[in-house]
A and B are shown apart, each in its own frame.
Chain A
Amino acid sequence: MTTKLMGQAVQRVEDQRFLRGQGRYVDDVALGTATLHAAVLRSPHAHARIVDIDVSEVLDVEGVHAVWTYDDLEGPMAEPLPLLIPHPALTHGRTQYALANGEVNYVGEAVAFVVADDRYVAEDAVDRIRVDYELLPPVVGIPAARAAERLVHDDVPGNVGARLEQNVGDARAAIAAAPHRLALDLTVERSACQPMEGRGTVARWDPDLNRLQAWTSTQTSTGVRAAIAVKLGLDLGQVDVITPDVGGGFGVKINHPWPEELLVPLAAKTLGRTVKFTEDRREHFISTAHERGQEQHIEVGFDDDGRLLGLDVEFWHDHGAYTPYGLIVPIITSTQLLGPYKPRSYRVVFESLYTNTVMVTPYRGAGRPQGCYAMERTMDAIASYLGKDRAEVRAANFIQPDEFPYDHGLVFQDGRELEYDSGDYPASLEKLKTLVGWDEFPQFRAEMAAQGRRVGIGLACYVEGTGVGPYEGAHVHIETSGKVKVATGLTTQGQGHATVFAQLVADELGVRFEDVEVVTGDTRRMPYAVGTFASRAAVMSGSAIHLAAKRAKEKVLKIAADALEVDEKDLQIADGVVSVKGAPPDSVGASIDLGTVSVLSNPLRYAFDEASKAATQFQVGDPGKPPVAEDDEPGLEGRDFYSPERATFASGMHAVIVETDPETAEISILKYAVVHDCGNLINPMIVEGQIHGGVAQGVGGALYERMAYDESGQLLNASFMDFLMPYVTEVPDGIDIDHVETPSPLNPLGIKGAGEAGVIPSAAVFAAAIEDAEGIPITAMPISPSDLFALRRSVGQARDQSDAKERP
């Protein structure tokens, strides 16, 4: 019997290719010299009216084929880009045009599009376009947006795109009546996904087939396909979109269509040539999307044990210049803020605000890091106020294992109830305390203090809705060679889908892992799909693939039973061979391999290969009936879709021990511990890899990265020299990981998503640990050594002043 692969640390089949430089990304497509290259003129101003664009000097440049400005766009291309996810509360949603229509609202907004022989010439041409701008006052930062002395969009009063309030009980009354009350004001700055591969699109118009083929580095090839078809006035059936290897997405590539994803196909169709756009790093910084920027005001009422009686959260979310992705990020913040806790009452209200900066769409964690930060900083404040252990206060508020499913009474990002499916938070906390040495920490702190060293510990808990719908599908095809070809429509940006999905198919079908090949993100193979975001691929496509494999298996057993003249119940499949249970090995007529079953599944049997010849010994079907039965179809395939009632809720807890240098305020990580629950694990090595990557990004977001906009809306650090993404040298050497597995009842595999988990609690956990080391409240993240030094100074001065006042 084949060993079950579900739960095994199977080596990733992708890594040989990736590590040897054989990955194939969009820029590796259409390498020939016949390919034309595009460059984009981007606004140098954060807010301006476009008075005139003069392209007369451009067309004279040798090697330039075409230039587009807004005035050259027609029909649907001249309309604003889609608002992908509308919401009733988004009363003032705005999206940009593929090319700016009379006004620019952030530095980096696309103004003109040039296609030339190569990218060098295209950039030379871009330099020759003359734009006459009339400058408008920019709105930069949340305070300026709230003050609303200037407006980003003239017709959006107060710069408020949306205001949304949700209530469970009467939180304000509960706080007023509570024995203890606290208020906190917190801020989080912007960061961004920054995948190593930026955006890229290649398109080719085939005049013989009358169809467009596009490759794009996206998290949703089906979405881009539909967008291209509509915007270019093509039938959906005339457009294929293929997503090859993707060098990271982290959320930024789920927003679509980007202007270039439409302009490249437009240029390809217009010019009848293959056209390529490969984004450079500066473009990625100033013309894709950022996330995280929020200001928060929290009021909380609690009892003597620290139990939350009332929680009232107001926050202001900076969504940048446009809202193509609706309110997903702030809605997630507002709902996922609650984490593993059950406040007796909750009020949350947010305003989503316009600024003249790069727009905000989900970045790994998608609003959860901010929510976790708000909640966990509150927990720490309560513990400090009551003089209680921080872990104890959290435990007092946990939803208990016997309370699932737990309905918070809120509406989640998918428009469904926020109802947790399963979890065991007390068990996770116990594991985390052991893993990090929570109870032993006071002794460690004393030992370090004796050496003049300053250390602190923090912990943070989160719950993450994963695997949101509406659906994913899968197609499983057993070929006559016995090889299994699997297709699912969502895309892959390095998660190891080719490995984990093959594990599931090998288990279900009883075939060798090596014989399963997985294709993702190719609309020719699976035209119905949603995309890879919201930690949903394993849950959604994993479940769909499991179901499709099950269907294929049903057909295998039916045909094999017919061929071997036995009952289906008496058959088993292992290593690609169907055999009669209990029959001695090699006994004649007691087994049939899957390839032969595949031949038998198709009544048209030209004996092209050995499998076909081997099949001639078997007789299947009823000679008195049509060769393909009424409820059947030729071929050995299974196709199915998975569509869950609601999201499944993964959870986890992180703890960190940091050291802060008393002189230089440098912050170093001594220990990082993670306890993680994503239900049943398909491949623990891949889950741990996801956690490592998430923690690395979290370290970046907490200690290094920020978007340094000046007051005129220029991004001052738009390069990897000044935007400090951590190197391997800045990430903890080891991350201690332990798992809790509370299976989800919502899908056949009992799994939950794991993609975003590692990054969610970072701001919260580092703020807690630094606060613990320094004895100074940390209310703004990220924090640099310079920031910490300034905090020490201001607290020191405040203490000196109060000392002076006390001295008569």
Chain B
Amino acid sequence: MKPAPFAYRRPGSLADAVAALAGDAGAKVLAGGQSLVPLLSMRLAAPSMLVDINAIPGLDTITADDIGVTVGALARHADVLASDDVRRVQPLVPMALSRVAHATIRNRGTTVGSLVHADAAAEMPVVLTLLGGSLEVVGPSGSRTVPAHELYVGPLECCLHHDEIAVSAFFPALAPGAGVAFDEIARRHGDYALVGAAALVDGDSVKVGYLSVADVPTVVDLSGVPDDRLGDVALEHLDPADDVHATADYRAQLVRVLTARVVRSAREGTR
């Protein structure tokens, strides 16, 4: 469990980081390393170069205003989770973050890193998608904003080019009168969820995002669906699968249970 050889760069500026990425088609960005380093150790990934962005100043900011929450590429899960401003502006972010792995992993792992790792079993990609957030991305030709609904294109795959770096994520604020909720069921505390669900209720609009039951983070619009049909309707848009931990059937049951729970909870929590 030792990584294959790789080159290592630790640039001091974004421009240098982008240049390093552009110069090596096999290069990968290293931020918190909580997903990447285990992949390296198991030799499931063997990038030719790691571009460590931890020395780039100004990427660890967390700001929250009436519009929403902006999280920098080096902001750790634990710091985002601890922010009262974030909690006030968009409570779904800390609700979901508290279920991301364990404290030690949250201390090192970054929220933006989790977003671009694009794991459909992770909490934050679903939250960004449900809320209609976006990523700010910098590449050789400048910066662009990628809306969440365009971000996830396949299993563990987002639409960023290999020489682009996500510098921040934007989570829109919770609108007055709207409510959110998050819940998941995992085999053990802190494990990847067998199924997770995040709800956003605003007036008649009911949307629920799901993790671990589709190839990509998936949001289903359940507006107007009767309460006793919520889960079943959601399942028409999802693709729960068998694995060593649970059957597809069981995951479907959890979709039903969790959908009802998060929708109820989001309604109860409306402001």
Q: Which residues of chain A have C-beta atoms less than 8 A from B43's C-beta?
A: 123, 127
Q: Which residues of chain A have C-beta atoms less than 8 A from B4's C-beta?
A: 123-124, 127
Please tell me if A793 contacts chain B, counting CB pairs below 8 Å: yes
Q: Which residues of chain A have C-beta atoms less than 8 A from B244's C-beta?
A: 708, 716-717, 722
Among the stretches B112-120, B220-228, B245-253, the one at the interface with A is B245-253
Q: Which residues of chain A have C-beta atoms less than 8 A from B188's C-beta?
A: 704, 724, 726-727, 729-730
Whether B189 pairs with A730 at a CB distance below 8 angstroms is yes
Whether B190 pairs with A785 at a CB distance below 8 angstroms is no
Whether B247 pairs with A786 at a CB distance below 8 angstroms is yes
Whether A789 pairs with B190 at a CB distance below 8 angstroms is no
Please tell me if A120 contacts chain B, counting CB pairs below 8 Å: yes
Chain A, 747-786, contact with B by CB distance < 8 Å: what is the 0/1 string?
A: 0000000000000000000000000000000000000111
Q: How far is the CB of B234 from chain A (nearest CB, A)?
A: 16
Please tell me if A550 contacts chain B, counting CB pairs below 8 Å: no
Whether B1 pairs with A786 at a CB distance below 8 angstroms is no
On whether A786 and B246 interact (CB within 8 A), knowing A280-B1, A724-B187, the answer reads yes
List A112-138 residues whose CB lies under 8 Å from chain B: 119-120, 123-124, 127
Whether B189 pairs with A790 at a CB distance below 8 angstroms is no
Q: How far is the CB of B228 from chain A (nearest CB, A)?
A: 14
Most buried by A among B192, B253, B257: B253
On whether A784 and B187 interact (CB within 8 A), knowing A664-B254, A717-B244, A722-B245, the answer reads yes
Please tell me if B214 contacts chain A, counting CB pairs below 8 Å: no
List A283-312 residues whose CB lies under 8 Å from chain B: none
Please tell me if A282 contacts chain B, counting CB pairs below 8 Å: yes
Q: Which residues of chain B have C-beta atoms less than 8 A from A785's C-beta?
A: 185, 187, 246, 250
Chain B, 23-48, contact with A by CB distance < 8 Å: what is the 0/1 string?
A: 00000000000000000001100000
Whether B254 pairs with A119 at a CB distance below 8 angstroms is no
Whether A789 pairs with B189 at a CB distance below 8 angstroms is no
Chain B, 236-271, contact with A by CB distance < 8 Å: what is the 0/1 string?
A: 000000001111011001100100000000000000
| Category for how many chain B residues contact A | 20 to 34
Q: Which residues of chain A have C-beta atoms less than 8 A from B257's C-beta?
A: 663-664
Q: Which residues of chain A have C-beta atoms less than 8 A from B161's C-beta?
A: none
Q: Which residues of chain A have C-beta atoms less than 8 A from B5's C-beta?
A: 120, 124
Q: How far is the CB of B46 from chain A (nearest CB, A)?
A: 10
Q: Which residues of chain A have C-beta atoms less than 8 A from B192's C-beta?
A: 721
* Among A120, A280, A717, A793, contact of B249 (Cβ-Cβ < 8 Å): A793
Q: How far is the CB of B102 from chain A (nearest CB, A)?
A: 9
Whether A729 pairs with B189 at a CB distance below 8 angstroms is yes
Chain B, 1-14, contact with A by CB distance < 8 Å: what is the 0/1 string?
A: 11111000000000
Closest to A703 in B: B187
Please tell me if A570 contacts chain B, counting CB pairs below 8 Å: no
Q: Which residues of chain A have C-beta atoms less than 8 A from B250's C-beta?
A: 665, 785-786, 789-790
Assembly CA distance A663 to B246 (angstroms): 15
Whether A790 pairs with B247 at a CB distance below 8 angstroms is yes
Extra contacts, 19 of them, besides A124-B5, A708-B244, A790-B247 (Cβ < 8 A), are A120-B3, A120-B5, A124-B4, A280-B1, A664-B185, A664-B253, A664-B254, A704-B187, A717-B244, A721-B191, A721-B192, A724-B188, A727-B188, A729-B189, A730-B188, A784-B246, A785-B185, A786-B246, A786-B247
| Smallest CB-CB A-B distances: 9 pairs | A729-B189, A786-B246, A786-B250, A280-B1, A708-B244, A120-B2, A789-B250, A663-B257, A717-B244
Name 26 interchain pairs, CB-CB below 8 A, sorted by A: A120-B2, A120-B3, A120-B5, A123-B43, A124-B5, A663-B253, A664-B257, A704-B188, A716-B244, A719-B42, A721-B191, A722-B244, A722-B245, A724-B188, A724-B191, A726-B188, A727-B188, A729-B188, A729-B190, A784-B245, A784-B246, A785-B250, A789-B250, A790-B247, A790-B249, A790-B250
